[in-house]
Structure 1
């Protein structure tokens, strides 16, 4: 997110720094940041569409208020179908929250141990992933393993992999980015391996476990493991600047409605998704909100403690330089400010 400078710099250097910074900051981001704050969430969504997003869905679940879903733009731009509140969306790395909950449950069940190593769980990777004997499951959950990120491979999103084996092959026999536990670096490879470990421990696809132990108890019936479980008409179209085609047919894992994600994140933060010592285990290994990105789809699952509100934001347009990511973070912050203003002026 692009932020104003926190430190004051005086005299000529301030002028030079300001001119230099503004020259390299896209004016659209400056405009979005400086525009007067709208009074309503819907006005903010409409403004976001004017900034260039093709479609948006926002779900808000605030304690003491009825849940609300807002939409703007297109569900399918080519067919001129307006954005739908119950559209399915590719939630990308938000799925890591579901994975981490599953890990906590399996640890509580005694099927996994946070202190066992990658070598213990997948011994075939010894010698192919550096420090496999020292990388614990906990380190992988927390992104402290040092294992390189397979999606950082050159031109990955131009020709994405389709299987576990293809994805893993991109980082095998490469040096670690740091020694296990000595640093932090977000790596999708960690969760590629965690999903494999869960599959091996369970003896079946771990999404079945997620469905049985998380989705079904919360009555989340609009969350799916992939495109093969849904019809394409249910899926919101995704667009990438400079790419001529709708990206909805590309397989990128979990899909869900904004409402389903919101109810899950609410249960994650209020603890109702857990039982026994699961919440304690989860709190020791992972966070309680997340964002996701795949071409055509940006998603944000936020919890604002001061508002006691879950806010889910889906944007159906991405771009190569990630300007839209910065823009969406500006819009997210403005949505939070609108909610704060509404709370402060509420007669209750």
Structure 2
């Protein structure tokens, strides 16, 4: 989708102070040394007891809203994306984020699209703003804290290490420091069983008192039929390439035009294969080397990475940033931004 009147007016991030390194996790017997070497994630941030996902998201949202400098009554939508437990059951964290970060009475929506949630929310927010003739803004936030005993950041998933943190972005239909040139999304629901597994349904969360086991779910699914692993990789590769090509075409750009590329902080072996080898992304344009000290922060890697680019990589007017996400389900989203100004802050 090509966008003509959607802009990024503010970004923000919240990263807890406490750090836990991969070496510490290996020494404590929580993380396999060989896996640590292959995955390449050096450390993660660990949220405190008073820092559940929505609290961190609200802090990141406040920063993005302050940087955007737009009136509170202009925010017609708040979208909050998350992956894990949000600090309370039977609760709407997005309304907490709205109340704490910006207030108002605009539309509130929680996005559950796995690791792609942040970028999926950006595309939905852009659609909301493009349909409005009056000046409006939308706040997008992400926030996740992965806590034992429900979730083991070092062992619940294979080739993933989960860090705590939150990101935010303010979109506006009247201006900002960057223009959203295009977005593209693609879903392949035939891959949905990969993270559901074959173990049947449950009556509630955490019933057996053990951490979520995503490794077994994936293994059980992939062992059901011969060649399943190769088939899944082929499907994922095809969809990732297609959605990237669509977004770049709608932005009238080529991958080589992008000064920055922001993807998830995943295992280094996956990043090397999926992004740098198959898609041809130049690692030097990415935030990955920085991200290896934070790990995979649920739905927020892309928004947090964009905040990092804005704050430390000196983007200039005319520079292009491409961000790509993929979430269980499965769904891919790519967004192309063009910097039009140097942010005031």
Higher alpha-carbon Rg = 1
Give the TM-score of the pair, scaled to structure 2: 0.26
- Higher strand proportion: 2
